[in-house]
């Protein structure tokens, strides 16, 4: 998977995303940096949303980290109308996974 396939992250990009999600804080700048990275890789929105969804399903995750990940989802939804190629994919992908992300948390 090291070669760049349209719509997929490379292994290094996936590792970077996972590192950012693990280190995410509720600080606006931190969430904004992660959101910007996601928008810059919007052609892989489906994989990014899958990764975010998986990160929200980890029961041991501290509540503040989960909150930061929800802030990221919120920012991606808000900016899905940005004039960035494939940014709108985030709305579609997040909406389709919202139930499976949120219901286990209830």
Mean pLDDT across the chain, nearest whole number?
91
Mean pLDDT within 26-51: 96
Q: Where does the pLDDT of residue 100 fall: very low under 50, low under 70, confident under 90, or very high at 90 and above?
A: confident
Distance CA 103, CA 32 (A): 26
pLDDT value of residue 106: 66
Distance CA 7, CA 23 (A): 24
Q: Is the pLDDT of residue 63 over 80?
A: yes
Q: Is the pLDDT of residue 29 over 60?
A: yes
């Amino acid at each position: 998977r090291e070669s760049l396939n349209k719509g997929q992250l490379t292994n290094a990009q996936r590792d970077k995303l996972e590192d950012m999600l693990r280190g995410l804080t509720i600080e606006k700048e931190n969430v904004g940096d992660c959101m910007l990275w996601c928008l810059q890789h919007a052609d892989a929105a489906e994989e990014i949303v899958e990764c975010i969804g998986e990160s929200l399903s980890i029961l041991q995750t501290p509540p503040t980290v989960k909150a930061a990940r929800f802030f990221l989802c919120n920012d991606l939804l808000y900016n899905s109308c940005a004039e960035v190629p494939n940014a709108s994919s985030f709305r579609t992908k997040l909406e389709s996974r919202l139930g499976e992300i949120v219901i286990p948390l209830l």
